[in-house]
Structure 1
Amino acid sequence: MTITVIRISKILFLVFLTISSSSAQRCIFPGRYRDYTDATGRLYYACNAFDGTPVYFRCPKNEIFNDLTQVCEAKASPSALICSWIQIVLGKTPDPDGDGTTYIDCTQPSLGPRIVLCVKGLFSPILLCCYDGSTCYY
């Protein structure tokens, strides 16, 4: 029993270390923030006011990080939420519940987040469009 607990602790530590060292994100303000490079919506980081180094966490399966409440919650329809500031800045972000053929559009924040289906290709979070390998579709 003790050996199993030690092995699990080592595995969890390595996973935590891998997640926390994999990003170049720096903290400016204390709080918890969703990592928008993670399309699942489960990855978030906590910032303290001291050294600016984020500490990464992952929400349990079937939960996503809610920017407003700063906690992991059961997945909800994006229309039930409001656009976060980063979604407004980017305009389009990956749909955490999608398979790559949909994205969340916050180009009109007053309408709230809208799920949009790509006409062709898959949504590219780098190009911010649906991309089929040669053409961007907006």
Structure 2
Amino acid sequence: MLRLGMHVSIAGGLEKAADRAREKGCDAFQIFTTNPRSWRSKPIAQQSIDLFSSRLKEYDLHPVVSHMPYLPNLASPRDEVYSRSVQALADELVRCRLLGISYLVTHLGSNLGAEKKDGRERIAEALKKAIADSGGD
């Protein structure tokens, strides 16, 4: 089955994204669950989780895809950036689980001139750690 979707805004609440997707005739859609240009994310209120989930079911919207914020760099050789990036990925995995989102898009980042092999290894370790830290699979 062909699905049609687009990136929609969460302005005014996550549940508004489902409304916007439906209004545009989408079967599927993508969102940022938080500000894409920030390291910090606010906790998601249970009411928003419940409304989002019920609207997905009511409107038969699937799949829903989340997009990671832009700042994380999972290939970074800089330890502070790398650590924050792994935490941001783990946090987003938790947010996806809370919202019933099965797919997550992320930019893997840049090795910033370090060996490509080292960048690939950091990405692989970041994925393993973030999955473990998020309690997910």
The structure that has the greater radius of gyration is: 1
TM range (shorter): under 0.3
Q: Larger relative contact order (C-alpha < 8 A, sep ≥ 6)?
A: 2
Structure-2-length-normalised TM-score:
0.24
Structure-1-length-normalised TM-score:
0.24
Greater fraction of residues in helix: 2
